[in-house]
A = this chain, B = another copy of it.
């Protein structure tokens, strides 16, 4: 079996993510960890992020365009992507068990769960739109 060993790099990646709600990309993590480990490589960041996902310490968000994003919150929950700025935010809503049941009824095959990505305009971008004069 595996037998994971300690790694300062991995620790600091975990720590960087902890508390964040902005769901950074691997590259953002890399840029930030470099302050502490100037020689860390992007490969190491990817390897550790994947490892952390696989042992369930963080979770991965896919489906928006561009890079995947990482979330210290491993409780299943919904996400929102802003069409304007591309930011990804949490939607504090528990995934509806109900939806899975409905889907299971409409489908043959076993449904274990679902991921949902809401899209629209985030608060910041709505404000910006108001400030801006009408384009011509």
Q: Which residues of A contact B (CB under 8 A)?
A: 62-65, 78, 80, 82-83, 89, 91-93, 96, 99-100, 102-103, 106-123, 126
Chain B residues contacting A107 (CB-CB under 8 Å) are 80, 89, 91-93, 118
Q: Are B114 and A93 in contact (CB under 8 A)?
A: no
Chain B residues contacting A114 (CB-CB under 8 Å) are 78, 116-119
Listed residue (A109, A113, A114) with the most chain B CB atoms within 10 angstroms of its CB: A109
Listed residue (A83, A106, A113) with the most chain B CB atoms within 10 angstroms of its CB: A106
Chain B residues contacting A118 (CB-CB under 8 Å) are 100, 103, 107, 111, 113-114
List, sorted by A's number, 25 A–B pairs whose CB atoms are closer than 8 Å: A62-B62, A62-B65, A78-B114, A80-B103, A80-B109, A80-B111, A82-B109, A89-B107, A89-B109, A91-B107, A93-B107, A99-B99, A99-B116, A109-B120, A109-B121, A109-B123, A110-B120, A110-B121, A110-B126, A111-B118, A113-B118, A114-B117, A114-B119, A115-B116, A116-B117
> What is the minimal beta-carbon distance from A26 to any residue of chain B, in angstroms?
15
For this chain, the copies found in one complex come to: 2
Known: A80-B103, A106-B91. A119 touches B112 (CB 8 A): yes
Chain B residues contacting A112 (CB-CB under 8 Å) are 83, 119-121
